[in-house]
Amino acid sequence: MRFVEVPPSWPAIVRIVAGAGEREVAEFLDAGELGEIMALRAVERRHERAASRIAAKSLAIDCGLVDRASRIRFTKSDARPVVMIDDVENALHVSFSHTAGIGAAALSERPVGIDLEHERTIDRRATKFFLSSEQLASATASTLDNALLHWWCAKEAAFKQSGEHPTLLRIPLTLERETPSGLVLRGPRNSRVETARLTDDVVVALAVEP
């Protein structure tokens, strides 16, 4: 198992795990969690789900939130993930994302959203489903490689963070600046949304409320 390096300037609330093996699965996940994972049909999805949960649990231990993995687990409320510590719902916010066999988690006292997207071409005709005309103009003017994918990824992260917009199209996002590997945007409830290239073929976005 390895931790995929996240942009060094990002807050230490993100962990991304690749290649989790049987040893780590046994170390971090209990029988109930394993049962939920095994209920997923696709084998790759099982690996990714295990990786995202190991990411969140190992982060919680390293932050000093819990002293062992068995004390923290994750449930859902209206599809949104919820943190449980010692079987009691906790006020911390958590977000998960998966792609290409890797799993990511973000854990924060503030509402947070994380998203991973595998490299692909987004058909310009599909942009009307997720970008306003101003946002499309911003993306079109970008010098970034595959800027549309960065915008999609930013929208998904902001969707998970905000919880109050029914579709990606409705998510307010304004570009503040570009970095060599991504975008810095202002999102819902004044959140800071950043995208970056994680690997040659994966883009990551993080949305955090101030």
Ligand X SMILES: CC(C)(COP(=O)(O)OP(=O)(O)OC[C@H]1O[C@@H](n2cnc3c(N)ncnc32)[C@H](O)[C@@H]1OP(=O)(O)O)[C@@H](O)C(=O)NCCC(=O)NCCS
Residues that bind ligand X (CB under 6 A): 49, 52, 79-81, 95-98, 115, 129-130, 156, 159-160, 163, 167-168
Which residue is associated with the tokens 């819990």? 66
Q: How far is the CB of 170 from ligand X (least distance, A)?
A: 8
Q: How far is the CB of 102 from ligand X (least distance, A)?
A: 10
Distance from the first to the final alpha carbon of the chain: 32
Nearest to ligand X of 43, 79 (CB atom): 79
Q: How far is the CB of 116 from ligand X (least distance, A)?
A: 6
Nearest to ligand X of 167, 180 (CB atom): 167
Which residue is associated with the tokens 């890797």? 102
Nearest to ligand X of 128, 177 (CB atom): 128
Local structure of 160: helix, strand or coil: helix
Nearest to ligand X of 175, 204 (CB atom): 204
Q: How far is the CB of 184 from ligand X (least distance, A)?
A: 20
**Angle (nearest 5°) at CA 75 between 71 and 79:** 160
Nearest to ligand X of 52, 138 (CB atom): 52
CB 87 within 8 A of CB 53: no
Q: How far is the CB of 168 from ligand X (least distance, A)?
A: 4
For residue 129, the Cα-to-chain-centroid distance in whole angstroms is 21
DSSP E strand stretches across the chain: 2-3, 14-18, 72-77, 80-85, 88-89, 93-99, 102-108, 112-118, 174-179, 182-186, 192-199, 202-208
